[in-house]
Every structure is written in C-alpha cells, then in structure tokens.
C-alpha cells in the first residue's frame, strides 16, 4: 500500500508538473499561454445512462493569460497548482480554507489580491481536478471531516492498526481523506449508511453490526466526501452492498441520490464518488402503513412539497417507477416520517425488527 | 469503574423512583399531587462569583396535577420519567428525538396528544434533570454526537481498550455520552480544544499531540455536551489544563465562555458542565499585530458588532479587563481573524511556531 500510495502521489505530482511544463513551452514558443478546462455548468452536465452517473459533457473552454477576463483566474489556477505541488512534496494536507489563505496576497505593484473570497479558490480547485484528472483528495486538499464508523473491519492507517469493532461507544472518527487507508481484514457482509448520528448510536449500542456482520457508518446531515470515498472503496474493492437509511422525505431521497449518482456540482468526479450499486433501504412511504406509523408522521411544509416536485423531475428519478411511486405517495399523504419515529414501537425496534426484516426480505428501492 | 457505573445508575433509578413514590404518597393522602421544580428562566439565573459559574437561583414553582395549566406538563414529566426509568433498567440510551417519539401518543378518550412538538419533551427532560438532580446523560438520554480526539491517553469503554494515540488519521469519534468511560492511562500534560475539525486534522497530521505530550479535541462549531463532559472529566479527575483555540470573533469568545462558565439554558447543570479553570489560548486581537496578519482579517459585519456588544455585557465578561480589552480592539479594528489565517505563514506555522510559543510563554486570556 505504501508503494501504491507513493505511486498515486507521483501520478498527481506528474500531472501538476505537466501543467507547468505545458505553460512554459507555450511561453517559449511566444504563444499566449492557455489552459484548457472542461466547462462545469448545467449546460455541460449529462446523465450517463450506461454508467448511471451524473457526468460532464465534452465542452471545453480555454483560459488565456493575456486576456482581461481570464488573467486573474489563470493566475489563481497556477497558484493553487503550486500550493498543491508543495503539499504533495511535503506530504501534508490542507483544508479548502487553508488553501484560500495560502494564496491570498496582494499582487506586487498593484492593489489587486490574488483571491478575495474562498469561493474563488474553491472554484479553481475544482478546475484543477479536471485539468489534472486527479481528485481534490489526491491533490492533498481536504474537505471537512465528519462521521463515525464501526463494524467488522480492520484497517491500517498512518502505521496504526485499527479494529473498527473494538472502539467502545465512540467508533472510529472518519477522516476527510481516506485515500491512504489500507483494508487489512474485511469480514463484514454489507454497509449500512445512515444520515443521523443518533441512529448510529442506537444501532451501535444494540451491537447491530456484530449481530448482522456488517459496518455501520453515519455523518450528521450532509454526506462528506471522506464518507462517500470510504463507501465507494468498500463497494468497489470488496464488493460490499451499501444500504442507505434516511428520513422519508425529499431531503433523504436527495442524500441517497447523491451517494448513488453523484451530485451536480461534483459531476466532474462522479467516477471517483458515485456508487451506482447503492440501494435505498428506508424509510419508505410503504413503511408508514406496514409498521402503523401514520400517527408519527410530520406534516409536509410547502418547501418540502416544492422540493419533492424538483427532485422527482431529476433525470435519474424521472423514469424511475419505484421512486415516482414514492414521490406520489408523499404528495398524497402529505406527511414525512423520520427514522426515529420507529422508536415509538420500542427503543430497539429498529435493530431487532425493522432493519433485519427489510434486509432479509430484500425490500429495497433502487 | 463497572462498580461506580452501577452505583451511578442506581442513584439515578432511585431518584426517579423517589419522584414516583412521592406522587403516590400524595395521592394516597388525598392531596392534589404536585412536583416542585426550580424555575429555569433568566429571572432565576445568577452568576456565582465564588464558583465562577452561571447557576440557578432558589426560586421554585410547583406543578399540580389538578390544574388546568399544569396537568399536561405534569403528565409529560411523569411520562419522561417512566421512559428514562425503562432505559436505565434495560441499560439503553435514547436521543432527545427518540424520547419525543416514545411518549408521543394520543391520550385515550381524548383528541389530545401527550406531546406535539419535540420542544415540549426537551423542556420536560431539562426539568427532570433538576427534579432528580441527575443530568440528562445520567438519565440515559443523549445529546448529539460529534467531534474527534487524539493524544496520550488510553481508555476503557464498553469492554474495549482504546489508545487515543493509535487511531490513524481519524482519531476516536467522541460519543454523546462519556459518563461510563474509564481512563486507564493519562500521560498527556494538557488538552487543546479547538472549534474547527480542519484545524484538528492539521495538528493531527503534524503529530502535535505527540511532540507536545497533549490531547487534541475538536467538534465542528457548537461544543457538544459529550465533549464538555469529557473536558470536565479530564480537568477534574486528572487536573489537566484545558486550552481553547477559536476564531478571533465574538462567536469564538462565546464558545470559550460556554465551556468555562456554562450556558444560560443549561445553568441548572453548570456544576456538571462548566470548567472554570479553562484558559483561552487564541486567536487574540494581539496575535493579529504580533504575527503580522492584518491583511488576512475579515471585515466584521453589523451582526458581528452587535454580538460583540451583547457578549461584552454578559455578567462574566463585564468586569473582566482582559476580555473588555479584546472586545474594544475588535470594535476598533473592525476585523476578525480565523484560526486558518495562520496558514498564510505556512501550512505548519500553527503547529511549529504559533501554538508552542503561546503555550511556552503562557499567553492566555482568562
């Protein structure tokens, strides 16, 4: 793995140096230096029916150095590339915010700053992912850290051997960057990802992962890039099925769809992030009746209803009969159901009845 | 520890049973049953100069069963007490949301629900902390989980031995409830708590805790109750100094003040949560000049300025000269400085220069 890691690092360093060499060679030839960047806009986003991923189309734009509208972005791109190159050589990682501060300074002889807002450096980092064909994680630039994991897995990370089944009530805290983790032993048979940390603690206390030979993983709200990459690695390297457990509302459906298909603003790296084989376990509209939970539903607000309409029209949901049925049921019942509503049937109903039943009967929505 | 844990559980069970017995005995005597509850309102909050904590005054109100304005709350109180009693007997924990769903049902023969909103059960849980003189954690009702820790400590938790110095890049994920953790070996000399997970990852990658023989701990934003209790236990059981690292803005000052003095809405359990010995390490207004970071400041907004005014008038800051000086400097410079602004001086400037210097020179604000 150390070897693989080094190879991966070299590959990123080479991609960055290629960018630099290319610019230098253009300068030597007396050309106006340009960088070719695939366009990241809705107009260039496609849903690939074959790979089942949101992905970028073929439209490319050129960024010129001698161009009044391009010069600043050109400079920012080269600056961020230099920061990433340094990070890789020093074997260190920076957050998005760090990178912003590292390139923020006044251009000598002018009153202009290289960047004024973090959104500028963030956008250039996404460009750089495309230019170099290496993800932000490979550029040693990290997203935010969040989430916990427990289960039948032993990993090696930074020289430490970590057994995810022996970490007390807390579990392992998932780092922002999981590229260099080595899986030593994976005896789990599937992964259950849930959107709520409180539900994770419920399942963990009930030793759900031990009884079910699985892995339980959660963040709080948004699924971080670290978690999405960890799920993808377990799916692709160990062929583990990934099941997603969310609230029965449009926001839950969206969390699932981002993990499965990728997201619009990260369409350029769907290949590294999306997991088309992911399955939605619950909570579903059918559960409400089946488990007699009608009284525990929460009335949908206008914003929820608007969001259902929006999501139901997404390319990847539009022709999906199972999901269209769900959206229709939500609109008709006008209620949503949280995972924790299952607690009304008993604190461990979720661990002892709901999840084992659904998994055994393969009641998933794809 | 197992013994201590059992003792603590018994003590909570007894307190809940005392409440039940007391109500029963009133009924048997033909009285209108009442529960005495200390008043949790600003009018009953004091800042105790001796203990340096925000605490509740002596005002108490009675909640009657036969009283049109009290009956529902009386019932809710007894219901939550029963839920907690069951949790303790089954040795299980529930989240605030779980408790809400566990007591939410229609009162037979009526159209009224025991609770309609989670805010009702939350409020009753806080009452129950006061009535029983046991914290929510002791009642087996958990807050949200968040945050990571790494450093020179070995703990035992749920039968697992966990070495906080051997957990790779992720660290230990801090659970919502740390009451039953047993410290096996604490060789750290202090704890550094920071408000940002990205800064924690920076220090962790630089092996800061190893070089400095310390513990690094963070959440993201709000400090969870689990973290506050963990800090308090390390402070009281091992006399470890606790240093707080926040952004130089009114929100950072507030995060510090909550850890140190307690918060207004949890004043009734300050004794279990506040840590009067905590010291503020940075970022301070003085750092801005000292480390030449003026250009990396962010202009304060009107909401920031209003918050500075509000915070500077809090009882515990009002007569504190060092903090008043900070607030004055913020108002004059009209800028705030984030922790990550230190990255402009180099990615590891924080680990190699800033923190070691400040700690060595004891540059704290109390």
CATH number where B234 lies = 3.40.1360.10
Distance, in Å, from the CA atom of A330 to the CA atom of A295, rounded to the nearest integer, reads: 15
What is the percent of chain A where pLDDT is above 70? Answer: 98
Q: A106: which chain B residues are within 8 Å (Cβ-Cβ)?
A: 295
- The residue from B78, B107, B142 where one domain ends is B142
B41 within a domain of the structure (yes/no)? no
* B192 and B315 co-located in one domain: yes
Q: Which of A86, A139, A145 to mutate to test the interface with B (most CBs of B within 10 A)?
A: A145
- Ordered alpha helix ranges (H), A91-160: 96-103, 118-132
**Rounded Cα distance, B167 and B183, in Å:** 17
Q: Do A205 and B175 touch (CB under 8 A)?
A: no
Q: Do B344 and A296 touch (CB under 8 A)?
A: no
Give the residue-averaged pLDDT of A293-315: 91
Residue appearing with tokens 């005495």:
B36
ipTM value: 0.88
Query: Residue B4's pLDDT is what?
Result: 53
Q: Would you call A296 and B104 a contact, using CB atoms and an 8 Å cutoff?
A: yes
Whether A160 and B142 lie within 8 Å, measured CB to CB = no
Distant-in-sequence, close-in-space partners of B104: CB < 8 Å, separation ≥ 6 = A295, A296, A344, B113, B114, B115, B116, B121
Contact A339, A194 (CB under 8 A): yes
CA distance A160 to chain B (A): 5
Contact assignment for B170 to A172 by CB distance below 8 Å: yes
Q: What is the mean pLDDT of chain A?
A: 92
Q: Is the pLDDT of residue A219 over 70?
A: yes
Average pLDDT over residues A170-197: 96
pLDDT band at A2 (very low <50, low <70, confident <90, very high): very low
Closest alpha carbon within chain A to B117? A298
Per CB-CB distance under 8 Å, the chain A contacts of B176 are 197-198, 201
For residue B157, the chain A residue with the least C-alpha distance is: A168
CB pair distance less than 8 Å for A171 and B169: no
Kindly list the residues from chain B whose CB atom is less than 8 angstroms away from the CB atom of residue A114.
none
Q: Nearest Cβ partner of A220 from B144, B156, B201?
A: B144
- Which residues of chain A lie closer than 8 angstroms to B161, CB-CB? 166
Contact (CB<8Å) B198/A158: no
Q: Does a structural domain hold residue B28?
A: yes
Tell me the torsion sign for CA atoms B304, B310, B312, B316.
negative
Residue B265 token pair: 């809405």
Residue B334, by phi and psi: left (phi above 0), alpha (psi -120 to 50) or beta?
left
Minimum-distance CB partner of B174 among A144, A170, A220: A170
Q: Which residue of B has its CA nearest to A294?
A: B105
pLDDT at position A302, please? 92
Q: Which of A165, A173, A205, A222 to mutate to test the interface with B (most CBs of B within 10 A)?
A: A173
Distance from CA of B68 to the nearest CA of A (A): 26
Angle at the Cα of B126 from the Cα atoms of B121 and B127, rounded to 5 degrees: 95
B136 and B152, same domain (yes or no): no
Does B55 fall in a domain? no
Question: Minimal Cα–Cα distance from A68 to chain B, Å?
Answer: 26
User: Could you say which of A142, A162, A179 is where a domain stops?
Assistant: A142
Task: Compare all CA atoms of chain A with the CA of B143 and give the residue at the minimum distance.
Answer: A198
Quote the minimal CA–CA distance from A316 to chain B in Å.
32
* Chain A residues whose beta carbon lies within 8 Å of the beta carbon of residue B148: 145, 173
Q: Would you call the peptide bond into B4 cis, given omega within 30 degrees of 0 as the criterion? A: no
**Counted domains in chain A:** 2
pLDDT at B96: 92
> Is residue B366 a contact partner of residue B340, using CB atoms and an 8 Å limit?
no
Spell out which residues of chain B touch residue A122, defining contact as CB-CB under 8 Å.
none
- Choice among A31-35, A150-154, A182-186, A222-226 with the minimum mean pLDDT: A222-226
Pairwise CB contact (< 8 Å): B104 & A198: no
Q: Yes or no: say if A281 and A256 are a contact pair by the CB < 8 Å rule.
A: no
Contact A343 B202 (CB under 8 A): no
CB contact under 8 A, A201 and B175: yes
Same domain, yes or no: B191 and B266: yes
Q: Which residue of A has its CA nearest to B175?
A: A170
Domain match, A316 and A334 both: yes
Same domain, B122 and B269: no
Do B164 and B231 reside in the same domain of the chain? yes
Over residues A57-91, the pLDDT tens digits come to: 888 889 999 998 899 999 999 999 999 999 999 99
A163, part of any domain: yes
pLDDT confidence of residue A4: 54
Cα A160 to Cα B162: distance, rounded to the nearest angstrom? 12
Weakly modelled stretches of chain B, pLDDT under 70: 1-5, 265
Answer yes or no: is A90 within a domain.
yes
Which residues of A are less than 8 Å from B181 in CB distance?
Answer: 168-169
Which candidate in B1, B82, B96, B98 is best for mutational testing of the A interface (most A CBs within 10 A)? B98
Q: Which residues of B are catalytic?
A: 101
**Structure-token match 């010069």, residue found:** A71
User: Do the chains contact at B155 and A174, CB–CB below 8 Å?
Assistant: no
- Does residue A73 sit within a domain? yes
- What's the gap in Å between the CA of B70 and the closest CA on chain A? 25
Same domain? A97 vs A152: no
- Statement to judge: residues B110 and B177 lie in one domain: no
| H helix intervals, chain B | 2-28, 71-90, 96-103, 118-132, 197-205, 208-211, 225-238, 250-261, 270-273, 285-290, 302-312, 315-318, 321-333, 349, 355-360
Long-range contacts of B82-88 (CB under 8 A, 24+ apart): B84/B12, B84/B16, B84/B128, B84/B139, B84/B140, B84/B141, B85/B13, B85/B16, B85/B17, B87/A347, B87/B139, B87/B140, B87/B141, B88/B9, B88/B12, B88/B13, B88/B16, B88/B139, B88/B140
Determine the residue of chain A that is closest to B348 in CA distance: A92
Look-up of token digits 């108490």: B60
CB contact under 8 A, B343 and A160: no
Residues of A in contact with B220 (CB under 8 A): 144-146
> Do B111 and B189 belong together in one domain?
no
- Specify if B365 maps to a domain: no
What are the C-alpha distances in Å from B139 to residues A347, B15, B72, B93, B264? Answer: 15, 10, 21, 8, 21
Residue B57 belongs to some domain of the structure? no
Same domain, yes or no, for A251 and A174? yes
pLDDT at site B1: 39
Helix axes B302-312, B321-333, angle to 10 degrees: 160
- Among partner residues A95, A169, A172, which is closest to B157 by beta-carbon distance? A169
Give the Cα separation of A338 and A348 in Å (integer): 15
Which pLDDT belongs to residue A229?
A: 93
Instruction: Look at B197 and A144 and tell me if their CB atoms are within 8 Å.
Output: yes
**Core vs surface per residue A59-74: b (16+ CB within 10 A) or e:** eeeebbbeeeebebbb
Helices of type H across A29-117: 71-90, 96-103
Say whether B162 and A145 touch across the interface (CB within 8 A).
Answer: no
- The sign one gets for the Cα dihedral A107, A112, A116, A119 is negative
Q: Are A116 and A84 contained in the same domain?
A: yes
Residue A247 contacts residue A339 (beta carbons within 8 Å): yes
Query: What is the nearest CA distance from A94 to chain B, expressed in angstroms?
Result: 7
Size of interface A-B (CB pairs under 8 A): 194
The tens digit of pLDDT for each residue in A109-139 reads 888 899 999 999 999 999 999 899 899 999 9
Q: Any bridge partners for residue A172, and if so which?
A: A149, B172
Catalytic one among A101, A193, A256, A261?
Answer: A101
Domain range holding A257?
148-360
Per-residue pLDDT band at A324 (split at 50, 70, 90): very high
Do A152 and A134 fall into the same domain? no
Q: What is the DSSP string of A214-234?
A: EEEEE-SSSPPHHHHHHHHHH
Residue B308: per-residue pLDDT: 95
From chain A, pick out residues whose CB is under 8 angstroms from the CB of B107.
none
Last residue of a domain, one of B142, B164, B183: B142
Nearest to B104 among A169, A172, A344 (CB): A344
On chain B, the residues whose CB falls within 8 A of the CB of A94 are: 202, 343, 347
Residue B89: exposure state from Cβ atoms within 10 A (0-12, 13-18, ≥19): exposed
Taking the C-alpha atoms of residue A334 and residue A128, their distance in angstroms, rounded to an integer, is: 44
Distance from CA of A246 to the nearest CA of B (A): 15
Report the 10 Å Cβ neighbour count for A119: 11
Q: Which two tokens stand for residue A312?
A: 């139901």
Binary contact (B173, A175; C-beta < 8 A):
no
The whole-angstrom separation of Cα A142 and Cα B137 is: 34
pTM of the model: 0.90
Q: Give yes or no for residue A186 having a pLDDT over 90.
A: yes
Chain A partners of B158 at a C-beta cutoff of 8 Å? 168-169
Q: Please check the confidence at residue A103 and state whether its pLDDT lies above 50.
A: yes
Is residue A301 within 8 Å of residue A307, measured between CB atoms?
A: no
Cβ contact (<8 Å) for B92 and A170?
no
Nearest residue of B to residue A164 by CA position?
A: B167
User: What pLDDT score was predicted for residue A271?
Assistant: 75
Strands B191-194 and B141-142: unpaired
């Amino acid at each position: 793995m150390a070897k693989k890691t080094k190879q991966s690092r070299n590959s990123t360093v080479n991609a960055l140096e290629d960018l630099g060499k290319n610019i230098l060679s253009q300068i030597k030839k007396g050309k106006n230096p340009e960088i070719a960047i695939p366009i990241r806009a809705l107009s260039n986003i496609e849903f690939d029916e074959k790979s089942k991923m949101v992905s970028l189309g073929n439209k490319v734009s050129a960024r010129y150095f001698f161009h009044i509208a391009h010069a600043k972005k050109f400079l920012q791109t080269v600056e961020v590339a230099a920061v990433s190159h340094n990070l890789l050589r020093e074997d260190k990682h920076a957050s998005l915010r760090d990178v912003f501060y590292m390139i923020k300074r006044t251009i000598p002889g002018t009153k202009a700053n290289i960047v004024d807002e973090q959104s500028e450096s963030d956008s250039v980092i996404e460009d750089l992912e495309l230019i170099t064909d290496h993800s932000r994680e490979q550029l040693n630039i990290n997203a935010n850290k969040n989430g916990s994991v427990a289960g039948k897995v032993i990993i090696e990370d930074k020289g430490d051997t970590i057994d995810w089944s022996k970490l007390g009530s807390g579990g392992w805290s998932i780092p922002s960057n999981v590229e260099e983790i080595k899986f030593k032993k994976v005896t789990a048979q599937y992964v259950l990802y849930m959107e709520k940390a409180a539900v994770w603690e419920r399942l963990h206390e009930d030793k759900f992962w031990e009884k079910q030979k699985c892995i339980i993983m959660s963040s709080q709200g948004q699924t971080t890039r670290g978690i999405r990459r960890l799920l993808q690695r377990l799916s692709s390297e160990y062929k583990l099925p990934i099941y997603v457990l969310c609230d029965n509302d449009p926001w839950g459906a969206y969390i699932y769809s981002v993990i499965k298909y990728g997201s619009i603003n990260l369409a350029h790296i769907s290949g590294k992030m999306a997991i088309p084989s992911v399955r939605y376990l619950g909570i579903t509209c059918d559960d409400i009746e089946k488990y007699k939970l009608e009284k525990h539903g929460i009335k949908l607000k206008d914003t929820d209803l608007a969001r259902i309409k929006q999501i139901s029209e997404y390319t990847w949901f539009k022709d999906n009969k199972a999901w269209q049925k769900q959206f229709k049921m939500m609109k008709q019942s006008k209620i949503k159901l949280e995972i924790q509503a299952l607690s009304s049937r008993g604190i461990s109903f979720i661990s002892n009845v709901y999840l084992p039943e659904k998994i055994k009967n393969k009641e998933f929505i794809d």
